[in-house]
Amino acid sequence: MLDVAATAEAALFQPFVLGDLTLRNCIVMAPLTRNRAIGGGEAPNELMAEYYRQRAGAGLIVSEASQISQQGQGYVFTPGIFTDEQVRGWRLVTDAVHQAGGTIFIQLWHVGRVSHVSLQPGGGAPVAPSAIRANTKTFIETGFVDVSEPRALELSEIPGIVADYAKAAANALAAGFDGVEIHAANGYLLDQFQKDGANHRTDAYGGSIENRCRLTLEVVDAITKILPPGRVGIRLSPVSPANDALDSHPQPLFDHLVRELSRRKLLYIHVIEGATGGARDVAPFDFAALRKSFSGAYMANNGYDREMAISVVASGAADLVAFGRPFIANPDLVERLRLDAPLNELDRATLYGGGAEGYTDYPALEPCES
């Protein structure tokens, strides 16, 4: 008799064809800011290469968010992808992951207003669609502090930001990444433009849904001139209150955006279902509608455990499931999920900054003796 439960469970752990890539399984390591880049040049290093190598059992790794320019940086010791030194540093990471049989995309990031003057070129104000300060904090060398007052981007500055994304995508190729994920979520620059709580512009980038999605789609179009759309994903957070970016009518906004992304044949949408790292039911939203209107893969994220992940993939409601913090404390998370083994406890004190402690020293399961 067919074991229905075993069949459902198996789907999560079976190889998955994502565009022209074959992933080991349907489990994704979500992007996780850890603040371990080399200070000054914000370049990845050998320690980071080991961290990602340990987690190469994931079907896909999406790297920690990486700023496309110095202006795009919002937190201390986060890696960039805009200098030759950073490209060389990331090559250490991609080589290590590939040697371990893994697949890795880089997440491209501009934080917009979620920054501090101490991180900006010349100590200038962070940039945003509108001069509205976010009610949130950032992380600098002295610890967590309130973000700085931003300034509104001039219309003439926007093409330069689009060009920075395109250059970052080219650098990602040079660094050996298998693809890129555009960070258009969690209240960072592209999400700020998308949502009417942060975007009060009256020009071509503000007002209507079409105008507020314009920058995101221009970035997509620029990047897909560098990489084929089948190597480009995007992260969205329709109702997350992260970093104080909210929209009054998120359903029509994201329905429109996802239709446009589908028309451009992007590889996947990576959707934070609910509040980032928090409640899944923070606000009403039909996530299934996004799944139905998008031609590529649907990656589900936010609060998934083993049983939820098995169910959502088996039912076809999602193709892939992204896990975040469980991957921090469990380098062998896929194997632990497969075996339904206990998970290591997360050390929150070592999440941001520091060295190997709480980063590369979490233990894997002991091999079973035959």
The CATH number, out of the four listed (3.40.35.10, 1.20.58.220, 3.40.50.620, 3.20.20.70), of the domain defined by the range 4-350: 3.20.20.70
Q: Specify the pLDDT at position 9.
A: 74
d(CA 173, CA 204): 31
Report the Cα 346 to chain-centroid distance in Å. Answer: 20
* CA distances, 2 to each of 6, 8, 78 (Å): 9, 11, 49
pLDDT digits (tens, 9 = 90+) for 138-163: 999 999 999 999 999 999 999 999 99
Per-domain residue ranges for the chain? Answer: 4-350
Strand, coil or helix: 8: helix
* CA distances, 290 to each of 17, 176, 251, 274, 316 (Å): 20, 31, 9, 14, 13
In 71-226, the DSSP E strands lie at 104-109, 127-128, 137-140, 143-146, 151-152, 179-184
Q: Specify the pLDDT at position 366.
A: 85
Strand, coil or helix: 11: helix
d(CA 293, CA 350): 40
The amino acid at residue 177 is: F
Q: Specify the pLDDT at position 370.
A: 41
Query: Consecutive 10-residue runs of the chain (370 residues): their mean pLDDT?
Result: 60 98 98 96 98 98 98 98 98 98 99 98 98 97 96 98 98 98 99 98 98 99 98 98 97 98 98 96 97 98 98 98 98 98 97 97 80
Among candidates 2, 18, 22, 27, which has minimal Cα distance to 309?
27
* CA distances, 39 to each of 77, 358, 359 (Å): 5, 19, 17
Q: Specify the pLDDT at position 313.
A: 98
- Based on the residue annotation, tell me whether 188 is a catalytic residue of this protein: yes
Q: What is the DSSP letter of 110?
A: -
Q: Per the residue annotation, which of 52, 75, 165, 188 is the catalytic one? A: 188
d(CA 153, CA 201): 10
Q: What is the mean pLDDT of the chain?
A: 96
Q: Is residue 239 a contact partner of residue 275, using CB atoms and an 8 Å limit? A: yes
Report the Cα 290 to chain-centroid distance in Å. Answer: 18
Q: What pTM does this model have?
A: 0.96
Strand, coil or helix: 143: strand
